[in-house]
Amino acid sequence: MGGAVEETKLTFRRFKEGERSDKWEDLTEKIFQQDHSYKCPTYVHRTPPCQGSCPSGHEIRGWLAIARQMDKPPREDMSWQEYAFERMVAANPFPATMGRVCPAPCEDGCNRNEVDEYVGINAVEMYVGDHAIEKGFKLKEPGPATGKKVAVVGSGPAGLTAAYFLRLKGHGVTIFEAHDELGGMMRYGIPGYRTPREMLDKEIQRIIDTGVEVKTGVKVGEDISVEELEKDYDAIFWGIGAQVGRPLPIPGWDAANCLTGVEFLDAFNQGYFQGGAAKKVVVVGGGDTSIDVASVARRLGHITHSHSKDIPDDHRLGFTASDVAGTMRREGVEVTLTSLFPIENMTAAEHEREDALREGVNIRGGVMPVEIIKDDQGRVKELKMVEVDMEGNKPIPREGTEFFIECDMVVAAIGQMADLSGLEHLGNERGFMTTDPLYSVKGHEKHFAGGDIIQPHLLTTAIGHGRIAADSIDHYLKGEPLEKRPKIDVHHFNLLNELHQRGLDPETCEFGETIHDGMSGTSESNCAIHNYEDRSKTHIIPHDELFKGHFNYQPRQKREQVYIYGDDVLGNFEERIKPLTEEQAIKEGERCMSCGLCFECDNCVIFCPQDAIFRVPKEKYAVGRYVDTDYTKCIGCHICMDVCPTGYIQMGLGE
């Protein structure tokens, strides 16, 4: 075991062989012959693809601008980390957790991939999240009490997020949780070396501290009925997740030592499973859960000696948490992970696959289980497999390719189902809950739902559901119609809010008076936002509308990774990734291309041949209001738009 830094890959691709990245026309005509153009610069705010692809709705560009030290805190006593934290939790109250485990679709969508490689969004999020815990940052105080009460059933990412945003709106919230501790899949579905429990506890406690009531060890549908909740609460949010694993649909699954990935991880995370009697384990899956199962099995190892008092609690799992590790000898477990898809097409994150391989997990892609072979005692002894080709999501077996894998435990991590016992009338034919786009349960007034109970997906998806559902519940409790959500349903930069926190609100004045004063348009008036248009709720800005030639190669600031090899993994449950330093977080923020919003590079000021574009006075400066245009000088040459790296400047005023 040891610290290491991921190998640097020089992937800078600003220019490609045989082509130019930016095609310039002859500027002579633009500069000297376009004075008749009626077009002038308009500052058009659009959503960057990182935010557009974030299921939780983070305003990523916003807190990266804070990290790069461009967007300064509105108060002198506020650090940039606290300002960034406030911006993060406006969408997602779990920055430290999600900075570790989110597969980061935002990074896949990052326009910087077209220059060198993506901005390390997760790494900056983790740094700020950890700093917030270290410094004890609090969440915002709830609004005035409304007198309304909401029951939140389930305390996973969806339930806790809904509870937080409902409290912000002043509603009373009670969480009902069947387990003894809060966290849902963040606690019981992910091992502690990926989500350290002390960190998770503190992020959850911040939410509880806003005034959320908690009732643990209570299973709705058994310990308390749905009818009782309907009687006592004004609305109910269902965030119960999908807590039942799917069994393998093959002969022999009823053999001893066959269990689902959910059962395996739940037992481990509750402390019931500290070591195994199994020597050879096969994990069937291909997603992140299957990687977690395989990695945990390798860490637990095989117990070769124990004291007589160490009695197995469950014949499928092995020894209980009362075992003392020092009284046992552990040997490496041979773990094979199988996937229908080829290894490179597995749904698990690439870095998680690489870690598993490093730690001694054998991964076989393009294969499918056919039958579980039992021994004379009815226990697993082999798993019959066959090689397959995939036609979409349908596996096509290859004739004559059957083979056997010797094993004494099979874990199926092929998906999850909901547990609707006692709640059957709320479910659909698939065993989940059906909601409309506003997360209201269809056919059941005052019921709302989000997270895996709708459809199993990412933790960040569940967080987004909880946030939006809280808005819907708030409208419902106020007796207001549920509003149609925007096409791009994430947190957006709001120029009016930015001006307000800087004390730069536009003046209140009658439009008619402005006309009588002889002013045409708004360039000389402060009763409107001059030459600005907000298209963020409908438009995502693509890379080909940026001036990418502005950006030089900047290596990504990478988190230190603790790599573990082979049997060194035995008994090692330490966290594998280390946070960035403050210096690294700032540098990574500087790599953000600020797609769709000015990042104050001065290109338009420098290149304007008419000096029509100028910086606003310092006392009137705000993010998004760094430059302005004197329309009496502008000749409509378009150069400012051509050299704008972020695509913020568009020619259109007067069209």
Q: Give yes or no for a contact between 294 and 302, defined as CB atoms under 8 angstroms apart.
A: no
Q: What is the pLDDT of residue 18?
A: 52
Q: What is the pLDDT of residue 319?
A: 34
Looking at the fold, whether 299 and 436 belong to one and the same domain comes out as no
Domain boundary among 408, 442, 477: 477
Q: What is the pLDDT of residue 528?
A: 61
Kindly report the number of other CB atoms within 10 A of residue 499's CB atom. Answer: 18
Provide mean pLDDT across the span 27-36. Answer: 50
pLDDT above 90: residue 604: yes
pLDDT above 50: residue 324: no
Looking at the fold, whether 502 and 611 belong to one and the same domain comes out as yes
Asked whether residue 579 is domain-assigned, the answer is yes
Structure tokens given for 360? 């001694």
Q: What is the pLDDT of residue 531?
A: 81
Looking at the fold, whether 261 and 189 belong to one and the same domain comes out as no
pLDDT above 70: residue 612: yes
Q: Give yes or no for a contact between 247 and 260, defined as CB atoms under 8 angstroms apart.
A: yes
Q: What is the pLDDT of residue 11?
A: 52
Provide the pLDDT confidence category of residue 505 given band limits of 50, 70 and 90: confident
Expressed as residue numbers, the domain containing 613 is 2-137+492-653
Helices (H), 420-507: 459-477, 495-501
- When mean pLDDT is compared across 69-73, 334-338, 522-526, 624-628, the lowest value belongs to 522-526
Provide mean pLDDT across the span 311-337. Answer: 49
Determine the distance from the C-alpha atom of residue 85 to the mean position of all C-alpha atoms in its chain, rounded to a whole number.
Answer: 15
Which CATH number characterizes residue 232's domain?
3.50.50.60
Asked whether residue 482 is domain-assigned, the answer is no
Provide the pLDDT confidence category of residue 591 given band limits of 50, 70 and 90: very high
Q: What is the pLDDT of residue 568?
A: 81
Looking at the fold, whether 23 and 126 belong to one and the same domain comes out as yes
Looking at the fold, whether 360 and 502 belong to one and the same domain comes out as no
pLDDT above 60: residue 9: no
Helices (H), 327-366: 350-358
Looking at the fold, whether 502 and 649 belong to one and the same domain comes out as yes
Output b/e per residue, 608-624; b: 16+ Cβ within 10 A: bebebbeeeeeeebbbb
Helix (H, G, I), strand (E, B) or coil at 532: strand
Q: Which 8-state DSSP code applies to residue 587? A: H
Provide the pLDDT confidence category of residue 510 given band limits of 50, 70 and 90: low
Looking at the fold, whether 520 and 631 belong to one and the same domain comes out as yes
The mean pLDDT value of the chain amounts to: 86
pLDDT above 90: residue 154: yes
Provide mean pLDDT across the span 325-345. Answer: 75
Q: What is the pLDDT of residue 633?
A: 86
Query: For residue range 83-104, what is the model confidence (pLDDT) as tens digits?
Result: 999 999 999 999 999 999 999 9
Query: For residue range 159-189, what is the model confidence (pLDDT) as tens digits?
Result: 999 999 999 999 999 999 999 999 999 999 9
Structure tokens given for 144? 């005035």
The number of distinct structural domains making up the chain is 3
Provide mean pLDDT across the span 33-52. Answer: 81
The more confidently predicted of residues 647 and 25 is 647
Looking at the fold, whether 173 and 105 belong to one and the same domain comes out as no
Percent above pLDDT 90 for the chain = 69
Looking at the fold, whether 363 and 406 belong to one and the same domain comes out as yes
Q: Which 8-state DSSP code applies to residue 322? A: T
pLDDT above 70: residue 279: yes
Provide mean pLDDT across the span 20-39. Answer: 53
Asked whether residue 487 is domain-assigned, the answer is no
Asked whether residue 483 is domain-assigned, the answer is no
Q: What is the pLDDT of residue 304?
A: 53
pLDDT above 70: residue 513: no
Provide the pLDDT confidence category of residue 313 given band limits of 50, 70 and 90: very low
pLDDT above 90: residue 482: no
Provide the pLDDT confidence category of residue 386 given band limits of 50, 70 and 90: very high
Q: What is the pLDDT of residue 333?
A: 85
pLDDT above 90: residue 136: yes
Q: What is the pLDDT of residue 502?
A: 87
pTM of the model: 0.87
Q: What is the DSSP string of 362-418?
A: EEEESEEEEEEEE-TTSBEEEEEEEEEEEETTEEEEPTT--EEEE-SEEEE-S-EE-
Helix (H, G, I), strand (E, B) or coil at 646: coil
Looking at the fold, whether 465 and 448 belong to one and the same domain comes out as yes
Looking at the fold, whether 323 and 371 belong to one and the same domain comes out as yes
Query: For residue range 241-260, what is the model confidence (pLDDT) as tens digits?
Result: 998 999 999 999 999 889 99
pLDDT above 90: residue 317: no
Domain boundary among 369, 397, 416: 416
